[in-house]
Chains A and B, each alone.
Chain A
Amino acid sequence: MNVTALIVFILLFALVTVLGFFAARWRRGDLDTLHEWGLAGRRFGTVVSWFLLGGDLYTAYTFVAVPALVFGAGAIGFFALPYTIITYPFVFLVMPRLWSVAKKHGYVTSADFVRGRYDSHWLALAIAFTGILATMPYIALQLVGIQVVLAGMGLQGTGFAADLPLIIAFVILAAYTYTSGLRAPAMIALVKDTLIYITVLAAVIIIPTQLGGYGHIFATQPAKNLIFPTPTAANFGNEAAYATLAFGSALALFLYPHSVTGVLSANSRNVIKRNTALLPAYSFLLGLIALLGYMAVTAGVKAKPQFAGLFKQYGNNFAVPALFLNSFPDWFVGFAFAAIAIGALVPAAIMSIAASNLFTRNVYKEYINPNATDRQEANMAKLVSLVVKLGALAFIIFLPLQYAIQLQLLGGVWIIQTLPSVVVGLYTRWFNRTALLIGWAIGMISGTYMAYVNVSGGSAPFNSSTFPLHLGGLTIPGYAAFYSLILNFVVAGVLTLIFNAVGMARGTDKTTTGDYHEEPIAVPLMS
């Protein structure tokens, strides 16, 4: 067991635990309302939103899985870079509209907006269901980040003892999320992101000097991994897969409930706009982290006997922890591992809050207790946040890790199906609500099918989210989310024309054009 690393790790973990509980007093509000517990009263300015969204979107799992993909497969893993570049121009245009309309009408979730815009509780339910479905395995995967670093420090056991540290970490997380709501991850994000930036900057400066410089690192990669083979007239190959993965993921990112929660907690439209120019700092960081995958190849960590057991257990997800163990002194290993583990807590907390908001607003209040008071709403959300985290914990302890990874992969395919209702809905009400619902269903089914039957290289079902589309003699491998979204749009569009022709009712729009642009009068800055 690596005692020095473990001590540093525990100290940092204890620090954020204290912060998590202390956060309840920060920018104090009545935590017995969903608005305060689940959105921190929409009070966050540019700096806090930057940390919160950065800590929220660039999760610990991303930090482990992206370099793991680069480590194993090379260039394709870098799709995370174009993906997190082009998502921001999109967010710049779209999300301020969602913020304004949500502020005006007190919407807490994107399903709330769809409910008001289309006057359809079924469509809202579909949006809420998709959000919860896509979020659950994502929370579970955050635990993998914690698991991997705990194992890396030698905290290994059998049976219950093996899972105990993870259970302790999650119980602490659940407790302060329950008491402090969104304020807890926002405050912890400040610490988490500082740790991550220090770790990554240290890594990309120190490790290459040990390995003989960047030129040498790239020179030692297998040539086939560095760039994609040139597309042929018959098959567009990985270039097409790369572009559609980046594009689809960029569209999907801000549809996730935890992204929406982060966006709606901002205190103005301009905070969101400013952050689209500031958040790319994290994209740059993510690119550097991706490079760690190549460094791990050059360092030859997989061949080292001391890491063999953990590579067997965690696969390439152990590449970055192994690289740190191989390159850093023990105390800094503890620091870096704490950065990853705490990095898991922030998104896990926000995701569970976002899922609770969806359940409370779009299931509990809609179908179970329509007359719920503010207090009942907040209590229900707190309770659900516990249930969601217990579910994620059980998922990781009792089911094979591969399931969580596959489900997370499908998460992007699923969540993108809400785009026609949510994003297009912010601009026009042209689509018929029933048509949107059917388009959504077709998108969900076809996307899941494409991911299931993935046949490239005869891989197992759900092993990859790219689907080889055959057009005549041409094969275009593409992200299943992208293809299924096109199908979703086509179905929704055609059915809208048909439903309009037969004069189907369209419901009442509770929003007006002005609701999407409004910047309410600035409130005095609260510290």
Chain B
Amino acid sequence: MVDRPAANRGGKRWWYLLLVVPFIALLWVPFYNSIQPELAGIPFFYWYQFLWVIIGAALTAVVYFATK
């Protein structure tokens, strides 16, 4: 593996903070423990979590490419 300059590697470390976001969004249940706003009859509690599957995967992908 090619050694990267230390400063560069230091700058890239910040990207890893993105990985913390899903933990906050999903483990603080009061954020989404509600019926409203509904989306096509689906309570917030459900569509919020489905949405986070996609956001979570996207964040991981961003970190993957940014730190590659």
Contact = CB atoms under 8 A, between A and B. Distances in A.
Nearest to B45: A227
Contact of B41 (A78, A85, A214): A214
A280 B43 CA distance: 22
Contacts of B23: 86, 89, 247
Contact of B60 (A92, A228, A231, A246): A92
B63 to A, nearest CB: 7
B59 A89 contact: yes
B64 interface: yes
Nearest to A230: B33
B45 A517 contact: no
Interface string B27-50: 111100111000011110110011
Interface size bracket, A side? 35 or more
B14 interface: no
A78 B46 contact: yes
A218 B42 contact: yes
Interface string A338-362: 0000000000000000000000000
Max chain B CB contacts within 10 Å: which of A247, A276, A518? A276
A247 B33 CA distance: 17
Contacts of A287: 49-50, 53
Contacts of B27: 82, 86, 243, 246-247
B53 A284 contact: yes
Interface in A275-291: 276-278, 280-281, 283-284, 287, 291
Nearest to A281: B57
A278 B43 contact: no
A85 B46 contact: no
Max chain B CB contacts within 10 Å: which of A86, A239, A240, A281? A86
B28 to A, nearest CB: 7
A98 B11 CA distance: 24
A81 B54 CA distance: 11
A92 B19 contact: yes
Nearest to B59: A89
Contact of A85 (B29, B35, B53): B53
A280 B52 CA distance: 10
Q: Decide if the interface of chain A is mainly helix, strand, loop or mixed.
A: helix
Contacts of A86: 22-23, 26-27, 56
Nearest to A91: B60
Contacts of B6: none
Contacts of B7: none
B41 A213 contact: yes
B33 A88 contact: no
B7 to A, nearest CB: 18
Given A246-B26, A280-B56, A81 B49 contact: yes
Contacts of A218: 41-43, 46
B43 A226 contact: yes
A478 to B, nearest CB: 12
A243 B58 CA distance: 22
A78 B64 CA distance: 28
Interface in A176-223: 213-216, 218-219
Contacts of B54: 280, 284
A517 B1 CA distance: 9
Contacts of A518: 1
A216 B41 CA distance: 7
Given A226-B35, A518-B1, A88 B56 contact: yes
Given A89-B20, A243-B27, A277 B1 contact: no
B33 to A, nearest CB: 5
5 contacts: A89-B56, A92-B60, A218-B46, A273-B64, A287-B49
Interface of B: 1, 16, 19-20, 22-23, 26-30, 33-35, 40-43, 45-46, 49-50, 52-54, 56-61, 63-64
Given A88-B56, A215-B42, A277-B57, 10 more contacts: A81-B53, A82-B26, A86-B22, A86-B23, A86-B26, A89-B22, A215-B41, A218-B46, A274-B64, A276-B64
Interface of A: 75, 78, 81-82, 85-86, 88-89, 92-93, 213-216, 218-219, 226-228, 230-231, 239-240, 242-243, 246-247, 273-274, 276-278, 280-281, 283-284, 287, 291, 517-519
